[in-house]
């Protein structure tokens, strides 16, 4: 097992005597929180198509995912932090994929591996294929290629680690799950004669009515991003807390959390 290298954690701004470099770490809470998350990210164990073979090769001894703390692929979404969408996403499979994503605890990340998962790949516009998993789930990293090599997947995983390294507990846009409670689940698509996104239900209904009346009904569009919602109860709390500075600070924190959560929902809905 590799030894913990404290230089990874030490803040470079604070001088530590040379003789103590290997024994003392001075760091920030964000840094140690990010370091522990990104060094123990467990991927969900599933594969969809040819890209999955490359993912399996990445986990094998030659490339060795355990160097990144990612070798523990979990067969349960409850124990997974990372969803590697490795392969062609068919309309039939996107339903369980979104359901599995909803079952993963926060914080959770999605990596789209290969041309198919990123945008449909060679099967784009095929009758049974989804043109990219990002139409349903928020993707953190895209890995191009058909298929991407294990090195490319590792590069994508390192990019994800760098993204996590850049997050801060002080910025609720980075960590909206922290202290705000569970977020809304992503609507699970419905597979009928074609795939239906529940977020488009009103639009589909309106278009069906126009079509039945023999009027032009346009093309199906992704609904506009959810607008930032006002939080009247939180504002009321802010007013009520004006007498004590502690209550004020608490109300301000609550308001920022609500806003960060609303922005996250808007991003997921777009
Ligand atoms: S991107 Fe290429 S290799 Fe990967 S699943 Fe699609 S067709 Fe297969």
Nearest-CA residue for ligand 1 atom 3 is 147
Q: Do strands 195-196 and 190-191 pair parallel, antiparallel, or not at all (unpaired)? A: antiparallel
Q: Contact at 8 Å (CB) between 73 and 44?
A: yes
Q: Supply φ then ψ for residue 58, to 5 degrees.
A: -65, -35
Confidence (pLDDT) at 117: 96
The 10s digit of each residue's pLDDT in 178-221 is 766 667 888 899 988 888 888 888 888 888 888 888 887 776 55
Q: Would you state the structure tokens that stand for residue 79, as one six-digit string?
A: 């124990």
Instruction: Compute the mean pLDDT over every residue in the chain, rounded to the nearest whole number.
Output: 82
49: Cβ below 6 Å to ligand 1?
Answer: yes
Residues contacting residue 235 through CB under 8 Å, at least 6 positions apart = 255
Ligand 1 atom closest to the Cα of residue 145 is 1
Confidence (pLDDT) at 113: 97
Say whether pLDDT at 237 is over 70: no
117: Cβ below 6 Å to ligand 1?
Answer: no
Residues contacting residue 30 through CB under 8 Å, at least 6 positions apart = 167, 168, 169, 170
Confidence (pLDDT) at 180: 63
The 10s digit of each residue's pLDDT in 29-74 is 888 889 988 999 999 999 999 999 999 999 998 998 888 888 889 9
């Amino acid at each position: 097992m590799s030894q913990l290298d404290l230089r990874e954690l030490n803040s470079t701004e604070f001088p530590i005597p040379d003789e103590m470099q290997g024994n003392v770490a001075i760091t920030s809470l964000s840094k140690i929180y990010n370091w522990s998350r990104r060094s123990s990210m467990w991927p969900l164990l599933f594969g969809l198509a040819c890209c999955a073979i490359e993912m399996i090769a990445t986990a094998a001894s030659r490339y060795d995912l355990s160097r990144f703390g990612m070798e523990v692929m979990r067969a349960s979404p409850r124990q997974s932090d990372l969803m590697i969408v490795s392969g062609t996403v068919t309309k039939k499979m996107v339903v369980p994929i979104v359901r599995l994503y909803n079952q993963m605890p926060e914080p959770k990340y999605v990596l789209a591996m290969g041309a198919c998962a990123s945008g449909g790949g060679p099967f784009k516009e095929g009758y049974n294929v989804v043109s990219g998993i990002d139409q349903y789930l928020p993707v953190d990293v895209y890995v191009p290629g058909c298929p991407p090599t294990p090195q490319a997947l590792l590069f994508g995983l390192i990019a994800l680690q760098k993204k996590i390294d850049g997050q801060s507990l002080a910025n609720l846009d980075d960590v909206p799950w922290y202290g705000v409670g569970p977020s809304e689940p992503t609507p699970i698509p419905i597979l009928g004669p074609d795939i239906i996104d529940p977020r488009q239900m009103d639009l589909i209904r309106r278009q069906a009515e126009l079509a039945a009346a023999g009027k032009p009904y346009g093309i199906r569009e992704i609904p506009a991003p959810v607008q930032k919602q006002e939080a009247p109860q939180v504002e009321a709390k802010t007013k009520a807390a004006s007498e004590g500075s502690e209550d004020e600070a608490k109300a301000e924190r609550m308001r920022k959390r609500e806003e960060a959560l609303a922005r996250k929902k808007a991003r997921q809905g777009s």
